[in-house]
């Protein structure tokens, strides 16, 4: 009989990882300070470095706001009042409350004083295969979700509409979705189109270029990625093709690791990503006024100090960031969706967002004993993650009562 493990949130967060250890060797990270800034890149008023988003008419500071975890309208107002221009949300964030919060506060701002991006992932997506299954269901749900998002936001149009959390070429180029997105653009309900991905970024970026439809790619980009060279090449190609590149997960899984330590300081990690002049802007998910100030300081100056260069060169402490390379999936005896489970782990311990992690766990339908029947784990993660321990740890979240989730 299946053994039930009851655990509440406090207990869950208090308990330690089951054997999860391992370090990530990170060498050759420091780029120097070879950032090519033109005089006109500097916004005189705020002193921010600004960049143009591909061929769009959008020019923004290199730091934007990932609103995902912010539930304080005062913080979003402060960000806008201090000069942040682009707000990034999604249909699913905080069960829709994120868009609703923005809808209420944006009423006080002229529509041409900010840019807003939202993301829609339609139903009918097979997460394990990374493909869409039912064209009619996909189209209907994409439209329904988009209509709901616009209503929540209280807007007639968004500036960027993404196809959200896609992980391969096939899904990026899925025709029924592209047709719908193009129609929405023609109708003026979105100004630009984009695709976002948590994994296989170079493949998705190349597909976005080939589509001839997308204007923007939103991709994970940080100092911990093991496929950095491929990423840099794909990003460069995207920029040459006229796409704007927005970086997320620049802090490699949160401002702190599970032990609440800084693997690399948030500002240092953000500077590292923004030193690539092909990255137009970033969407750090700051949740406090201090973090906002910290990130705005980076928007004014991405120069790495000698100490920060050392920090990056010595970044050997494990972070919570999984590359999403999916090499582990074929090694796993049960073909578990390990990259997604590692993301749920990061949401829990890096972002301290247990509700978001739980939603993902529920979607993946992974049981608490998923790894218990294996005598030996056959997965060799490229980042040395002890995946079985992390899976066992995170899967317990499925049994935490909803009221304990944050």
Q: Which residues bind ligand SF4 (CB under 6 A)?
A: 322-328, 332-334, 336, 338-339, 342, 370-371, 374, 377-379, 381-383, 385, 387-388, 391
- The distance of closest approach from Cβ of residue 335 to ligand SF4 in the complex, given in angstroms and rounded to an integer, is 8
Rounded distance between C-alpha atoms, residue 20 and residue 153, angstroms: 41
The DSSP-derived string for 369-404 is TTTTT-SS-----TT---HHHHHHHHHGGGGS-GGG
For ligand SF4, the closer CB: 145 or 343: 343
- The distance of closest approach from Cβ of residue 379 to ligand SF4 in the complex, given in angstroms and rounded to an integer, is 5
CA-only gyration radius of the chain, Å: 20
- The distance of closest approach from Cβ of residue 21 to ligand SF4 in the complex, given in angstroms and rounded to an integer, is 14
Rounded distance between C-alpha atoms, residue 46 and residue 51, angstroms: 14
Instruction: Say if residues 254 and 56 touch (Cβ distance below 8 Å).
Output: no
Which candidate, 244, 257, 188, places its Cα nearest to that of 218? Answer: 244
For ligand SF4, the closer CB: 244 or 337: 337
- The distance of closest approach from Cβ of residue 324 to ligand SF4 in the complex, given in angstroms and rounded to an integer, is 5
- Distances in whole angstroms, Cα of residue 334 to Cα of each of 94, 370, 384, 387: 31, 8, 19, 13
Residue 125: helix, strand or coil by DSSP?
strand
- DSSP-H helix ranges across 131-288: 135-153, 169-172, 175-186, 201-211, 228-240, 266-274
- The distance of closest approach from Cβ of residue 341 to ligand SF4 in the complex, given in angstroms and rounded to an integer, is 8
Which candidate, 349, 377, 345, places its Cα nearest to that of 361? Answer: 345
* Lookup: tokens for 77: 């107002």
- The distance of closest approach from Cβ of residue 397 to ligand SF4 in the complex, given in angstroms and rounded to an integer, is 16
* Lookup: tokens for 255: 């401002």
Rounded distance between C-alpha atoms, residue 257 and residue 263, angstroms: 7
Rounded distance between C-alpha atoms, residue 199 and residue 337, angstroms: 12
For ligand SF4, the closer CB: 103 or 389: 389
For ligand SF4, the closer CB: 365 or 382: 382
- The distance of closest approach from Cβ of residue 329 to ligand SF4 in the complex, given in angstroms and rounded to an integer, is 7
What's the sign of the alpha-carbon dihedral 393, 225, 125, 405?
positive
Instruction: Say if residues 360 and 348 touch (Cβ distance below 8 Å).
Output: no
- The distance of closest approach from Cβ of residue 343 to ligand SF4 in the complex, given in angstroms and rounded to an integer, is 9
For ligand SF4, the closer CB: 7 or 379: 379
């Amino acid at each position: 009989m299946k053994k039930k493990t009851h655990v509440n949130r406090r207990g869950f967060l208090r308990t330690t990882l089951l054997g999860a250890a391992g370090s990530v060797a990170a060498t050759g990270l420091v780029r120097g300070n070879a950032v090519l800034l033109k005089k006109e890149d500097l916004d005189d008023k705020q002193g921010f470095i600004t960049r143009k988003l591909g061929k769009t008419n959008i020019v923004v500071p290199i730091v934007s706001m990932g609103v995902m975890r912010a539930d304080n309208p005062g913080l979003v107002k402060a960000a806008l009042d201090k000069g942040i221009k682009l707000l990034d949300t999604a249909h699913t964030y905080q069960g829709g409350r994120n868009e609703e919060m923005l809808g209420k506060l944006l009423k006080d701002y002229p529509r041409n004083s900010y840019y807003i991006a939202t993301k829609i992932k339609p139903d009918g997506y097979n997460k394990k295969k990374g493909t869409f299954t039912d064209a009619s269901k996909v189209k209907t749900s994409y439209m329904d979700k988009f209509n709901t998002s616009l209503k929540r936001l209280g807007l007639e149009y968004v500036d960027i509409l993404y196809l959200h959390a896609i992980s391969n070429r096939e899904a990026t180029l899925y025709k029924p979705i592209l047709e719908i997105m193009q129609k929405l653009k023609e109708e003026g309900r979105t100004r630009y189109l984009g695709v976002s991905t948590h994994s296989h970024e170079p493949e998705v970026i190349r597909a976005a270029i080939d589509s001839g439809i997308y204007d923007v790619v939103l991709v994970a980009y940080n100092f911990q990625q093991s496929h950095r060279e491929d990423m840099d090449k794909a990003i460069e190609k995207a920029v040459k093709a006229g796409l704007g590149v927005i970086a997320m997960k620049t802090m490699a899984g949160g401002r702190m690791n599970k032990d609440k330590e800084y693997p690399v300081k948030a500002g240092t990690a953000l500077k590292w990503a923004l030193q690539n002049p092909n990255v137009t802007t970033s969407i750090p998910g700051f949740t406090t006024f201090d973090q906002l100030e910290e990130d705005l300081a980076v928007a004014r100056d991405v120069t790495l100090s000698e100490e920060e260069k050392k920090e990056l060169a010595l970044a050997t402490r494990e972070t919570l960031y999984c590359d999403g390379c999916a090499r582990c999936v074929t090694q796993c005896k049960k073909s578990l969706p390990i990259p997604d489970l590692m993301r749920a782990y990061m949401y829990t311990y890096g972002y301290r967002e247990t509700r978001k992690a739980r939603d993902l766990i529920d979607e993946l339908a992974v049981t608490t004993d998923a790894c218990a029947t294996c005598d030996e784990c056959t997965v060799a993660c490229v980042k040395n993650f002890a995946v079985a321990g992390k899976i066992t740890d995170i899967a317990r979240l499925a049994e935490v009562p909803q009221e304990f989730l944050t």
